[in-house]
A and B are shown apart, each in its own frame.
Chain A
Amino acid sequence: MAYLDHAATTPMLPEAVAAMTELLGKPGNPSSLHASGRKARRLVEESRERVARSLGCSSAEVVFTAGGTEANNIGVKGIAWDQRNRDPRRNRIITSAVEHHAVMDPVRWLGESEGFEVTWVKPDSFGQITPDALRSALGEDPTDVGLVSIILANNEVGTINDIAALTAVTREFGIRFHTDAVQAPAWLEVNFSQLGVCAMSVSGHKVGGPHGIGALVISRDCHVTPLIHGGGQERDVRSGTLDAPAIVGFATALEITSARKVETVARVSALRDDLVRRVREIAPDAIYNGSVTDRLANNAHFVFPGCLGDSLLMLLDAQGVECSVGSACSAGVPQPSHVLLGMGADEDAARSTLRFTLGPDSTQADVDALINALPSAIDRAKRAGVPKITTAPVRV
């Protein structure tokens, strides 16, 4: 089996599994006042410090959440609400057309149900948001903008945004800036303080940690209206019993991933380059999407003209090669990629995509397996064709 879908989730590192499982049978709620509680609390706070060191922030800025989606929801809704509460004029949100659904959908909801105005910034053809594009979205009087949220590294096409250059544009206006960095820490040096953002979302299972844990890094001066009310465990921003074993697993994984990053990136990007070269040999008509330079080291994303991504995925799966169409699913139904549509591709292309994402444990044999399976898959998928869309697609 060749697993080429590490951007969806990557296996837990053995060290993280060991650290987490050791704690699963032990007593102690980190909020309890007795010895077991204090022990659990210590594990959480040590982990918070380890996470902070890996992400270039202070430990007080780390708010643990139940994953990347929750972090994005707090980062978007929580900040937008807070900003508008403080200044009713700040009723506009700026985001890009190529965000993950966990940002795009909260923003859309705020627009449809909460009366916010939304400005969608179009990326360039590589999927990148330029400072100029952001500047023009701000307009002449940006005092109505409460929040800007731009993804750090795109989950589909792997394009990296220069967040520091973008926050330089908004800084003079004092506009809150959130970034979805879920795909980034496994492959990039992520330094919260250097990005200039006030909030940043990360997730455990994308860095070799467990599922169901993540964090929103929030700068001290950034206020957030909570989404979940309860015990107020995390700075009153997020309530709910802290999951000490998962937090320890997350911190362990993030720390190891950071320590090995230079070596991993060098090895995996060489594998990825080999994959891209050989896929293009097999399918000269394939379009390589995204940026060549500003790109995650593990990502390869193609349009295979005339092939439904769906068909290719199924045919490769049957040969033990696991990848993704790259776009979000609604009830198991792949939708045309809004990222590709946002980058200016047509609807047929947006349904003919395939994403291959490597992980730290990927090998040459994985790439070879894909290269062996791909020619017949393309051949058959071409025969099945791309059914034409005759009615408006389901909203994505």
Chain B
Amino acid sequence: MRVLAALSGGVDSAVAAARAVDAGHDVTAVHLALSRNPQSHRTGARGCCTIEDSNDAFRAADMLGAPFYVWDLSSEFQEKVIEDFISEYAAGRTPNPCLRCNESIKFEAVLDRAMALGFDAVCTGHYAQIFQGPNGAELHRAVDPLKDQSYVLGVLTAEQISYSMFPLGDSTKVEVRAEADRRGILVAAKPDSHDICFIPDGDTAGWLSRQIESVPGEVIDAETGNKVGTHAGAHAFTVGQRRGLALGNPTGDGERRYVVDVDVKNNVVMVGPPVLLDIDLIEAIKPRWSGPIPANGSRIHVQIRAHGEALPASVHIGDELVTIQLDEHLRGLAAGQAAVMYDGTRVIGSATISRSRRSASV
């Protein structure tokens, strides 16, 4: 097969491409330039954005004998990932930019272009597995539970999965590092990427405050309706958050208070005792299915954070809304995050959480 390998400049994508070469594929490497300002040299790695990463990717491709190119997707990344990230926060939601990037950049813009240019598949260093099932290609969890990235790939459609290649899904990170070392890949010891690649210092709140106008507003007690404090800008708060509230007077019972709701429209942050965070019903929109759509009432597991637990639940699919009834209640869930649904290790699909609440039964 003619395979387009996306090389970030890190260990994982380099080993993934090496395995594709070993499997006999005709591999061409591309590094995705996602940053508008790539002139920065930083130590370490966050998976994209620096000239250093681009050079590391070139060196890895060269070792594999793969032609190497840089594809400029900074415009698409700016529009579909960064601006989406800002507008979601501005709307009081908590987005996951890695999912958006996989959905609209890596497995859409890049995949589409690769197909048009005559490639048969796109290969990345994601930790996930693809198996051929009765209904075509299936996306499954990686064998390494610590590295499993099926959650951020939950936005892939069945068609996108059928053109994808994840050679690392059957290995642990320890094995991949050892293999990189054995192969003489120079970045074998490079640290893992973390956090959000376009916020280099990791200070998301500070970065957002420079993008979104902060208007001070009131902090309201959700139980009494009383004003209990002020905030510098509602978008900086996430449901479930406790720190940074700076509320002077404690509650009557001395219990800690959490953000239980963020009402950006009225610029109000609602706080309350943790019991108000308990939910068991998730409503989600914009579903993306990785295979056949499950029947109503299907028993599934749902994961709502990149490294969260898979929670048993049942699912109902309406015209626009996917409703997920959890078996047990859950504390603190922010709108905007993705709910990724699993059948065992297989990814069923994902949807964006729009609302969560307590069902009558709790």
Q: Which A residues are closer than 8 A to B by beta carbons? A: 310-311, 314-315, 317-318, 330-334, 380-381, 383-385, 387, 389-391, 393-394
Contact = CB atoms under 8 A, between A and B. Distances in A.
Contacts of A310: 69, 71-72
Given A318-B67, A333-B33, A333-B70, A391 B38 contact: no
B72 A333 contact: yes
A318 B28 contact: yes
B170 interface: no
A283 B225 CA distance: 71
A330 to B, nearest CB: 7
Given A331-B33, A387-B109, A391-B78, 10 more contacts: A314-B117, A330-B38, A332-B54, A333-B33, A380-B116, A383-B117, A389-B75, A390-B78, A390-B79, A391-B79
B228 interface: no
Looking at chain A's contact residues, the main secondary structure is mixed
B144 interface: no
Q: Please indicate which of the listed interface residues B70, B112, B117 has the most CB atoms of chain A within 10 Å of its own CB.
A: B117
B113 interface: yes
Among A314, A318, A332: residue with most chain B CB under 10 A: A332
A86 to B, nearest CB: 35
B36 interface: yes
12 contacts: A311-B117, A315-B118, A331-B33, A332-B31, A332-B69, A333-B70, A334-B72, A380-B116, A380-B118, A387-B76, A390-B79, A393-B75
Contacts of B70: 331-333
3 shortest interchain CB distances as A-B pairs: A384-B116, A332-B70, A383-B116
Contacts of B249: none
B303 interface: no
Nearest to A330: B38
B107 to A, nearest CB: 15
Nearest to B26: A318
Contacts of A390: 75-76, 78-79
A2 to B, nearest CB: 16
Contact of A391 (B39, B75, B113): B75
A331 B58 CA distance: 11
A380 B114 CA distance: 10
Contacts of B33: 331-333
Contacts of B78: 390-391
A331 B53 CA distance: 10
Interface of B: 28, 31, 33, 36-39, 51, 54, 58, 67, 69-72, 74-76, 78-79, 109, 112-113, 116-118
B109 A384 contact: no
Contacts of B54: 331-332
B79 to A, nearest CB: 5
A318 B29 CA distance: 12
A385 B33 CA distance: 18
Given A310-B69, A331-B38, A332-B70, A315 B76 contact: no
A333 B38 contact: yes
B268 to A, nearest CB: 33
Contacts of A317: 67
Nearest to B72: A333
A384 B117 contact: yes
A381 B113 CA distance: 9
Contacts of B31: 332
Nearest to A351: B72
Given A330-B38, A332-B54, A385 B116 contact: yes
Contact of A331 (B51, B75, B76): B51
A396 to B, nearest CB: 12
Contacts of A315: 117-118
Contacts of A314: 28, 67, 69, 117
A330 B28 CA distance: 21
A332 B31 CA distance: 9
B79 A381 contact: no
A261 B253 CA distance: 94
Contacts of A389: 75
Contacts of A391: 36, 75, 78-79
Nearest to A376: B118
Contacts of B76: 387, 390
A334 B112 CA distance: 20
Nearest to B51: A331
A190 to B, nearest CB: 35
Contacts of A331: 33, 38-39, 51, 54, 70
